[in-house]
Amino acid sequence: MNLTDKDFEDLKYAKAILENPSLAIRMLNVLGIPFSKGLMALPEKWYGHIQKITETALHTALDAAMVTMSDKVEKKSSEILHKVIVAASGGAGGLFGLPALSIELPISTTIMLRSIADIARSEGESINDLETKLACIEVFAFGGRSQSDDESEVGYYAMRAALTKAISDAAKYIAEKGIAEKGAPILVRLIAMIASRFGVVVSEKLAASAIPIVGAAGGVVINTIFIDHFQGMARGHFIIRRLERIYGKECIEFEYKNIN
C-alpha cells in the first residue's frame, strides 16, 4: 500500500524529530552556555537523586493519565497554553534552585502529559482508551540519549520494541486491578524503563538550571525548551501511530527505516 505524498512528508517530518532528540544542543543554542559547565555545576550527590525523582514524576503523571485524561470535542492541540504553564513552573523552580526539582518536576511532567494527550487527540487518538494513555506516557522514553548509547539500539522503533511487553503487561494489569497499587512490580518495571530514558533529559535540564546566572528567568526559558522538546516527540510519535492505523505497522516501519 503506497503512502500519499502528504502522508510520506508527514512520515519524514516525524522521523526528523524522533531521531534527533538533543535537548542539550537546543539549550546551548538558546542560552549560549556550554553544557559542560552546567554538568560541572551539579553537586555529585544529585546524580543519585535524579532517577528517584524522575520515577516519582512519572508515577504522578501515570496517575493523572488514568484519572483525568478524557476525550474532548476539540481536535486542535493547545501546545502554547501548556508551554506557558510549564514555563511558569520553571520560573518558580528557578527561584529555589536544585532542591525545588522534587516538587517542580512532577508538576511539569503532569502538565506535559496533558499537552501530549492533546497532541495525541489531534492525531486521531481516543484518550479514553487505555492503550492511548500508556502511549502518552511512553513519549517520555523517546526524548533522551546518553553518549554511550548505540544508535542502532535506541532508535524510535527499537525503543518501542523494548517497551512493548512492559506496556502490554501494564495495560492488562491496570485493566484488571486499576492504578491503585503503585508498588506493583509490573508498573514499577514500566516506570523504571521509561525513567531511564526520561532521566537523561531531566539531567540536562537540571544541569542548565544549576548554572548560577540562570535563576528564575532562566527557569522559564529552560522549561519552555523542555516542554517544546517533548511536544515534538509526541507529535512525531502520534503521527507514526496515525499512519500505522491507515497503512499497517509493518508498512510504516519499513518506510520509516528507509528514509535517509
Residues with Cβ within 8 Å of 15's Cβ and at least 6 positions away in sequence, in order, are: 156, 236, 256, 259
**pLDDT at site 84:** 55
Q: For a pLDDT cut of 70, what percent of the chain falls above it?
A: 67
* Closest C-alpha to 82, from 204, 219, 231: 231
> Global pTM?
0.83
**pLDDT at site 50:** 80
Give the tens place of pLDDT for each residue, 223-258: 788 888 899 999 999 999 999 999 999 999 999 999
Over 60: is that where the pLDDT of 149 sits? no
DSSP 156-219: HHHHHHHHHHHHHHHHHHHHHH-S--TT-HHHHHHHHHHHHHHHHHHHHHHHHHTSTTTHHHHH
DSSP 65-101: HHHH----S--S--HHHHHHHHHHHHHHHHHH-GGGH
Give the amino acid at 170: A
Q: Which of the two residues, 178 and 189, has the higher pLDDT score?
A: 189
**pLDDT at site 94:** 47
Give the amino acid at 75: K
CB contact at 8 A, 11 and 257: no
Distance CA 110, CA 107 (A): 5
**pLDDT at site 31:** 63
Give the tens place of pLDDT for each residue, 47-104: 677 888 889 899 888 888 777 766 654 555 555 655 555 555 544 444 445 566 777 7
Give the tens place of pLDDT for each residue, 22-31: 666 666 666 6
Q: Which of the two residues, 228 and 214, has the higher pLDDT score?
A: 228
**pLDDT at site 105:** 85
For the chain, give every domain's residue range.
5-144+160-257
Over 90: is that where the pLDDT of 32 sits? no
Range from 70-84, 107-121, 129-143, 245-259 carrying the lowest mean pLDDT: 70-84
CA neighbours closer than 13 Å in the CB half-sphere of residue 117: 28
What is the phi-psi region of residue 226: left when phi exceeds 0, alpha when psi lies from -120 to 50, beta otherwise?
alpha
